[in-house]
Structures are given as C-alpha cells and as structure tokens.
Chain A
Amino acid sequence: MIAQRQVWGETLLELGATDERIVVVDGDLANSTKADLFAAKYPDRFVEVGIAEQNMVGIAFGLSTLGYRPWLSTFGVFLTHRALDSVRMLVSQTRAPVRLAGAYGGLLNGSSGKTHQDIEDLTIMRAMPSMTVLAPADEYEMRAAVRWAAEYDGPVYLRIARDPVSPVFDAGTVWTDWSPRMLRDGDDLTIVSTGVQTTRCAEAAELLAARGVHARLVHVPMLKPLDSGHLVDLLGTSRVFTVEEHTKIGGLGGLVSEIVAECPTRPTVTRLGLADGWSESGPDSFLLDKYGLSAARIADQITQRMLER
C-alpha cells in the first residue's frame, strides 16, 4: 500500500522529466504533501511561496499565463477555504490550467483535528464553474489521475488522501475515461462512493454479503464534469446509499440527490457521511468508527436503514 500523497509526488517526479510545463508551487508543506520529491530533482521548477496560500494561487495563475501547468502543493483545506477567492477569480473564472492538489483531504489527517480536516472541499469545488473535481480511490487511480490532469488544459481540483488504503483496483488497470465505475454488482442496493472512502465501502459490501445483502458498488472518481445519465444507469436498484468522507451537505450525496431528483424512476437515496458538525483529533480508526465511515459502521448503518424500510 502506498499513500496517495506519495503517489502524487512520485508521479510528478516522473512527469517532470519530460514535461517542462510542470511547476510545483508550494506553501511550506512540501515534505508533507511529498512535493519535496519534485523539489529535490527540479529545483528550478519548484517555487516555494511560503505560508501564503492566496499568494500561491495568484503566482500559479501568473505562471500559467506563460504556458506553465502549475501544481499547487498544500493542504486542501487552505486551497478550498483560505484561498478560495483567488481560486474563484483567477482559476475558475479564467479557466486557467492550474492544478489544486488538495493534500490531506477528508477526515484523516494525522490527528490534526477539525482545523485541518477538509470535509467541505467537494461541495465547494463542485460549485466552481469550469473546475474538474477528482477524488481517486486508491494509489493506482491516483497515479492515473495525476497523469490525466497533467495533460488537461483547464482547472483541476484533486483530492489526495494522507494515509495508505488497501487498493480496490489492480496495478495494471488502464482507464479510458473518468465516468462512474461499477466495482461490484448486487441487486439489493447500490452504494455510491468517492475518494478513498470507496475502499472502505468495498469492505462494507463484503460484510453485507456475509449477511445475505447484496450491494452494488459504484465509485465516482470525477465528480465534475459528470455523465449523469451514465450514473443513473449504474444506480440499478431502488435503494441507493451515498457514502463519503465529507459532509453530507452538497458533496457526493448532494450530487447524486440532485441527479436522482430529476430522474423519472427515482430511487430512494440515503446519504451517509459527516453530519452537520465538526469533527476532532484522533487516530484514523477512531475517527472512522466514531463518525460512521468504517466498513463495519457503514454495513451496520445500511443494514439498519434497509430494515427500516
């Protein structure tokens, strides 16, 4: 298992060898985000801005006007909150090819607690016109996402998890698109997930199967743009559960609900994720369990909701 941040750093290092357009603009966190790999090899294309995230975005945008394809290296929470006004005007409104690498996405950030947990990033970035929003499931999909984003001529937000997860894809998987992917079939209910939460949903589906409940699992690696028709086709069952390491407000659950609301054959959607409140510091296992995102807690919540029907 390799952490997504490590994969991000390694992939940029690989791409940097042939793609001179790649620059990394860091906010004094390169040794956390793993941009330090790139910095060590390509110091001339590594810009250390310091602790000033708005300025990072402005500088990256300025560089993009000269043909560079800058990657921003900091914690996602600072990009999607502190620097949001700069992202909005200079990146989203100009459709600039700036890549927002949101490290330490979600709840699990090494016990830093709620100040650094970016649990609203998908809601916020999804609301930005022209923004592509990517949340890969594991190390393999992350590598492909970085490579795809490097070639894409527009703004990208990439959610990057801090800690390693058990892969759901095979090392050799080759993807031809970023539309929702069905990872497992089942006819009792459909779980829709995104980001590394998908790996825990895969485990939850196993637990459910052991109880005789057969869940289909759909992973959404790119929340925007999204082929909603394809997603509707994949929903398949009359019960849909969205699961995300993110607030239940406006993220994946919001996205699926918006699509389903306009769908004639309307399945029932239950959103699982963080309630409307802040979390806390703690080890990953503690947080996942307390906030209902561990495989066991997901399986239990789904079982409970299915019985309530």
Chain B
Amino acid sequence: MDVRTASTEELEELVRRARWLVVSTVAASGAGHIGGPLSQMDLLLALYFNHLRIDPGEPLWDDRDRFVLSKGHTAIGLYTALALRGYFDEAELATFDHGNSRLQGHPDMRLLPGVDSSTGSLGQGLSVGVGMALGARMQGRNFHTWVLLGDGELEEGMVWEAAFAAHRFGLDNLTAIVDRNRLQQYGWPPTSDSHFDRRDPWDGKDVPSIFRGFGWRVIEIDGHDHQQIDRALGTATAARASTGQPTVIVAETVKGKGISFTEGTYKWHNGIATPEQLATARVELGIKDTVEALR
C-alpha cells in the first residue's frame, strides 16, 4: 500500500501521457470512447496516484479502497490509469477491445485484477458502491469506496435509488464523483446560449442541489484543477466515520479535454483519430518521440 506518490506537476505530466494513450490506443484498436476518458482523466489519476489506498502488486488486498467506474464505457481511461499505476504493463493497452483480451470494451472484474466491479450498463455503479460501503461498515473495515459517474448517466433512475439508500444508511465511507462534462453521446439539440454543440443534459437543473436534497454532502470543483481535486478528494475521505453523510464531488470538466479537436463536442464521445489528428494530438499533449517511462 502506498499513496502520495505524485506531485501536481508529475500528475499533470501523467495526465497528458494518459490522454495520449487513450486517443492512440483507441485509434489503434479501431473502436472506443474518447470524450469521457479524457474528461475524467485528471480525477482518475489524482485518485489512483495520490488518494486510493491500494497495492498494484496485490490488487485483491482485502482492505484496499474500492473504485467503481460506473461510467463503464470509459474503460480505456481506467485501463490507462491502472497501467500507469503499475497494475499491468503499458504494452497490454494495445490489446484493448481485441479478442481474448483482459481489456474488454467495458471493465470485467473477473478478467482484470484491479477492476473492483464489472460495469457497463449505466446507472448501476452507485448501488454497487453502496453495497461495498455498507459491507465495509458491517465488517468494521476502514476502507473508502469511490464511484465515478457521468452526468449523462445521472438520467438513469437507479442512480437515485442508490443516492436515496446511501444517505439513509449514513455512508460517510462512500464518495461519488460526477464527471460533469455536460455532453453525452447524442443528447438534445443546443439552445441559442449553449456552450457546446449539444444541450447540457442537466440544463435548467441544479445537480449539486439535487444531491443536497438527497441528503448528500456536496463539493463542487473544477475537475481539471489539481489543487482543487486534491483538496476535494482529501476532504471526502476525512469525513469518514464522522459525518454520517455520503459525499459527492461534482467536478466541472470538459468532454474530450486536452486535445483541441475533441474538446467540447459530442461528436468525439467515441471516434477514431486519423493519422493527422493523432499527430496534432501528440504535439498538443507534449508527447515526445521517445517517451520515457513515467512509471
């Protein structure tokens, strides 16, 4: 078990590298999601490098913190984080979405140690997290459970069944993070004042207030600002066994973050970058020709 291994500068460098691995791996495999993995990457790597109490050498360690990627379609983002954190060799990313691969299109816990829950059908992950957090309390264990949700995913009713239950059970050992990138796969036509090319799925609704209404403690941050992320993740775990309230971090993010042509467009929910686009992405992400191993 080790935490606190990366400085802000190191994290930012890791995130750039991870974004490159996402876009290049998806291009090589010929299928995969882009926008969501890129928007969540700052949050994911901050968690995996500086906050989760985990041991990549012992992925099934009983007292590890649990992480559930409820938005399972962004699996390549999780795989990238796991590879960079040392769960498996980065070269294995090339098998993503291929036959006979441990890196399935959606995460499969039975194939890949380090994946705490299979996910894919949206809306189920928070319930799984409630079960894990509740079980931890029943067993007197001190680990923390984290669930990463998409904002489009919040349209699923099951999320709110779980939100209701998490508060009723007083699960202060559970933190949800909402990757609030304001775009989904297709969504609705934009309004005249839309910031992006499709309407924000929660346009006219107040996501933090809805969680507050369900009895959750809410932290709102910029999901690309590592100081804010670090503080929020720390605050969430500091509440364990004290507040009797689950915490949600609503993280404002940009879908497709980090690459000019993928940012803020629903069209890059998934997609295959052309060689020219890959070249652009590489330059923008500052990836050198010979990439030194970061881990």
Contact = CB atoms under 8 A, between A and B. Distances in A.
Between A54, A55, A68, A89, the greatest number of chain B beta carbons within 10 A of the residue's beta carbon is seen for A55
A65 interface: yes
B110 A94 contact: yes
Contacts of B125: 58
B129 A62 contact: yes
Contact of B165 (A59, A64, A90): A59
B116 interface: yes
Given A55-B165, A89-B120, 16 more contacts: A52-B165, A55-B130, A55-B161, A58-B126, A58-B162, A61-B131, A62-B117, A65-B116, A65-B117, A66-B132, A89-B119, A89-B121, A90-B117, A94-B110, A94-B118, A95-B110
Contacts of B168: 50
B127 interface: yes
A54 B135 contact: no
Interface string B157-201: 110011011001000000000000000000000000000000000
B135 to A, nearest CB: 4
A217 interface: no
A57 interface: yes
Contacts of B123: 54
A57 B127 contact: yes
A268 to B, nearest CB: 42
Contacts of A47: 134
5 contacts: A44-B138, A58-B158, A86-B121, A86-B127, A93-B118
Contacts of B141: 66
A88 B165 CA distance: 22
A63 interface: yes
Interface in B99-153: 108-110, 116-121, 123-136, 138-139, 141
Q: Which of B120, B124, B125 has the most CB of A within 10 A?
A: B124
Q: From B125, B127, B133, B157, name the one whose CB has the most chain A CB atoms within 10 angstroms.
A: B127
A89 B120 CA distance: 8
Nearest to A52: B161
A65 B131 contact: yes
A154 to B, nearest CB: 12
B118 A63 contact: no
Contacts of A44: 138
Contacts of A86: 121, 124, 127, 158
A118 B126 CA distance: 28
Q: Is the interface of B mostly helix, strand, loop or mixed?
A: helix
Given A55-B130, A57-B127, A90-B124, A63 B135 contact: yes
A142 interface: no
Interface in A1-38: 23
Contact of B127 (A23, A55, A65): A55
B158 A54 contact: yes
Interface of A: 23, 44-45, 47, 49-50, 52, 54-55, 57-66, 68, 85-86, 88-90, 93-95
Contacts of A54: 123-124, 127, 157-158, 161
Interface of B: 66, 108-110, 116-121, 123-136, 138-139, 141, 157-158, 161-162, 164-165, 168
The 7 closest A-B pairs by CB, nearest first: A62-B131, A58-B127, A55-B161, A52-B161, A59-B131, A66-B135, A62-B132
B134 A63 contact: yes
A253 B53 CA distance: 52
B127 A50 contact: no
Contacts of A93: 108, 118
B128 A61 contact: yes
Contacts of A58: 124-128, 130-131, 158, 162
Contacts of B158: 52, 54-55, 58, 86
Contacts of B165: 49-50, 52, 55, 59
Contacts of A52: 158, 161, 164-165
A61 B118 CA distance: 10
Contacts of B118: 89-90, 93-94
A100 to B, nearest CB: 15
Contacts of B128: 58-59, 61-62, 65, 90
Contact of B162 (A55, A85, A88, A95): A55
A173 B128 CA distance: 39
A86 B109 CA distance: 15
Contacts of B119: 89
Nearest to A59: B131
Contacts of A89: 118-121, 124
B109 A94 contact: yes
B136 to A, nearest CB: 7
A62 B134 contact: yes
A68 B135 contact: yes
Contacts of A60: 131
A62 B109 CA distance: 12
Nearest to A88: B121
B159 to A, nearest CB: 9
Contacts of B139: 66
